[in-house]
Chain A
Amino acid sequence: MENLFNSIDLFLPKILLGSILGIILSCLGIILVLRNMGFFCITLSQIATTSYAILLFFGMHGEFSVLILSLITMTPLLYLSSKSQKTDTLLGVLFVLFGSFSQLILSMGGSVKNHLLSAYFGDILTSEIEIFSVSFLLCIFSFLIFIYYYKKILFFSFDPDEYLVRNHTPKIDIIFLIIVIICLSVSVHLLGSFYSTAQILIPGFTGLFLFRSMKNIYIFSIIFSLLASFLGFFISLIGFEYGEEMIYFPTSSLIVTILGICAFLLILFKKLNLKK
């Protein structure tokens, strides 16, 4: 425990960055869950992971390269999804396609293998991330735009027909989807695919189950995401003794596990309470 406090300066920026990204994703996730876009998010994070793998394969490591390639790859996906009647099937096809493509690159070995594994599972504490990186600041800026347009985004999400009849343009939806793409691809690059997907889906989904107002759901999602992140950081940093060895869990996976188990228990508790 003493070691933990001595090395806190080293980990604090990473803890802060992981927590802030978690909060941003969990807030965006509420609208995505309400719009039944969970599968869309999973496919997006898979595409971001593949973009990361492609760049690693070509020896390009710039944080902007991942973002730009993700945007280029995701734009046709958005276009196809808006035109297709079978959106879920299309997303499924793209998911397996990009997943397989990542595996093909993975099979080529070299440094790609390790990097790609961390792109999937991520480990905040061991990743080379900086709190004032340009992509992170871009993520914050995108989130501020989300807050600014929140009510219009909510209106479009709730009743797209009435919004379009009154406003004649789906611009607000395009803005929202670009915000999601930016935040998700930055998060996948910095913290891993599983962590990002979990933060976007689990707090929002749980909040919608437990609370009856959007305001309370947002407050719950932020607190839930923060607590899970801090608990995950804390447990993975202190580790625990198993036999004669010290075991340290990978942080991102631990946070995802904590989010999942707590969500399950909270929903179960609510269901049992309702039955009474």
Chain B
Amino acid sequence: MSDYLFSLVDLSIGYSKESPILSDINMTVFPKEIIAITGKNGSGKSTLIRTISKLQKPLSGKILTKDHLKISLVPQLKKINLSYPLSVEEILKLPMVLEKPFFQKINFLENQLDILEKLGILSIRKKLLRECSGGQIQKVLLARSLISISDLIILDEPLDALDWKARELVFEILMKMVTISVVSLMIITHNLEKEWMSHFTQLLVTEDGNLKEGKFGKPF
């Protein structure tokens, strides 16, 4: 049990102790897992991922994490500030500045270029992010997480801005990432395709103030 990425123990989350959004949460995530979290709007999905990512403190309970756990977050489209005149390439390179010393030029590695190619954004890398379509922006945000070294990638409704074909492609790439690396994925989504169910190691539903085990084949 010691090789977990993180473990939530009797966790309560929300904004006030009197009325927590979700309580008594217990779950453990291991490397190479694919977890889907679904639930109605306002049921606490986003609060849960903010708490796991340590952007928000839990009301009570514990979050146990492995040493130096590296998390990356793929945000919802509406949370991105498009007034910045930054190109796709600049956006993709932003997280790399945390690892590179000052003045060192940042270049993409071969495998990173490969991911961009597969996602179909290599050809638009000089384009301004604000001039991209919703689907392209979503792919850029996804690529930003995929090309950096992470133990866990949390995706907040990553597939909702994509059409059916793009959703299939992105899901396929995500599955491949899990196969070739030790990364785990936590996907928050409303769009659960039936064909994907077999890939999930855990399917969870935020419902009635609790995080419950979901039933496969019963998407929201």
Contacts and interface: CB of A to CB of B under 8 A. Distances in A.
What is the predominant secondary structure among interface residues of chain A facing chain B? helix
Contacts, number: 64
Given A165-B54, A208-B83, A211-B85, A155 B98 contact: yes
Interface string A156-178: 01110110111110000000000
A217 B94 CA distance: 18
Interface string B57-87: 0000000000000111101000111011111
Contacts of B91: 158
B169 interface: no
Nearest to A158: B84
B53 A212 contact: no
Contacts of A208: 83, 85
A152 B86 contact: no
- For chain A, give the interface size range: 20 to 34
Q: Chain B interface residue count: which class?
A: 20 to 34
A213 B85 CA distance: 5
Interface in B1-56: 50, 53-55
B98 A166 contact: yes
B132 interface: no
Most buried by B among A151, A152, A165, A212: A165
A166 B85 contact: no
Contact of B95 (A157, A166, A212, A213): A166
A157 B81 CA distance: 9
Nearest to A164: B55
B12 to A, nearest CB: 21
A214 interface: yes
Contacts of A214: 84-86, 90
28 contacts: A151-B94, A152-B97, A152-B98, A155-B94, A155-B95, A155-B97, A158-B81, A158-B94, A159-B75, A159-B81, A161-B50, A161-B55, A161-B79, A162-B75, A162-B144, A164-B53, A164-B54, A165-B73, A165-B154, A166-B70, A166-B98, A166-B148, A167-B98, A168-B54, A211-B85, A212-B85, A214-B84, A214-B86
Interface of B: 50, 53-55, 70-73, 75, 79-81, 83-87, 90-91, 94-95, 97-98, 102, 128, 144, 148, 154
Top 9 nearest A-B pairs by Cβ distance?
A151-B97, A155-B94, A165-B53, A165-B73, A165-B71, A162-B73, A212-B85, A158-B84, A152-B97
